[in-house]
Amino acid sequence: TKVLENTLFGMGNPLLDISAVVDKDFLDKFGLKPNDQILAEDKHKALFEEIVKRSKVEYHAGGSTQNSVKIAQWMIQKPHKVATFFGCIGTDRFGEILKKKAEEAHVDAHYYEQNEEPTGTCAACITGDNRSLVANLAAANCYKKEKHLDLDSNWELVEKAKVYYIAGFFLTVSPESILKVAKHASDNNKIFCMNLSAPFISQFFKEPLMKVMPYVDILFGNETEAATFAKELGFETDDIAEIAKKTQNLPKDNAKRQRVVVFTQGKDDTVATVGRVTMFPVLDIDQNDIVDTNGAGDAFVGGFLSALVQEHALEECIRAGHYSANVIIRRVGCTFPEKPDFH
């Protein structure tokens, strides 16, 4: 099926990833776990100053939701601008890079630009096949519903879409923007997707997360996030299939669509509620071919969404997600070759 422009809508934190291979001493110095996502605190200021001085530092356009919609666009190829993206940046060099990169990826990015805060960054501290992410949201945290989302010209783009995706990370920025989009999707029987994103979201932003949950048609997450979510909700099980089932059965606003829950587990099977809970094995990959798992989860969602906007079956969406994740982990950052080789 030919997909129309602006069919897929994403909104989130546009960040510039600053990625470098570090050692355990570096992680210990800043109190980082090898595989985690956190928000930067004052004690991490020096981390950003140090990481840019590493020998092999790379800069890539990032931000979880933005990565996913870019991958979806890459998987679809044509037409351009199937994916729309909203988020806030600063009026600076990093902001210009993000604009240029979105354009190169053929994503229809409409940034809210302000000059109080600089464009957000994310330090990706790579050790082996682990990545510890420290996000300094800065400008990304300044997204304002009434200054951007509510403007007629922007809201028209929301109305044009059929599939919506917002990472849980954005709950820390503008829960009211998420709710407005989620309710629109639910009221119009469109598909609203969300991601648990990181353990800290379920732990410290549970209230806004659960306010949006009744509108969530498809929920993504990884095994760690699923376990934390289950603990926070008192599910009293650490069986991932059971967690998926219980999450599927949480209250839902639009009864026309049963909620779908998709939990990835790195190299282990992806768990999804396709009617009943089903396991989908990921593509085999030689450990030596894994360059960097940063962006694997975002890539999975991107591939999944590319099939979803083309109205493919759920199994097919998962297959597309596995393909794109497999491509991304062979490369540094959430980057991709010129064209996908997916059939």
What does the alpha-carbon distance between residue 197 and residue 200 come to, in Å, rounded to a whole number?
9
Please enumerate in sequence order all residues whose Cβ is within 8 A of that of 247, keeping only pairs 6 or more positions apart, or say none: 219, 226, 229, 230, 259, 261
Active site residue 298: yes
Compute the radius of gyration of the chain from its Cα atoms: 19
Strands 8-11 and 83-90: parallel
**8 Å CB contact between 203 and 175:** no
Residue bearing tokens 């996908």: 340
Query: What H or E segment, with its residue span, contains residue 133?
Result: strand 130-136
CA-nearest of 257, 286, 271 to 321 is 271
At 309 the three-state DSSP class reads helix
Quickly list H helices, the chain. Answer: 24-29, 45-51, 64-76, 93-104, 152-160, 175-187, 199-204, 206-212, 223-232, 240-248, 296-309, 314-328
Residue bearing tokens 């997909």: 3
Find the catalytic residue in 23, 289, 298, 341.
298
**8 Å CB contact between 217 and 184:** no
> Alpha carbon of 268 to those of 37, 116, 241, 264, 310: distances in Å?
20, 44, 13, 8, 27
Write out the catalytic residue numbers.
Answer: 298
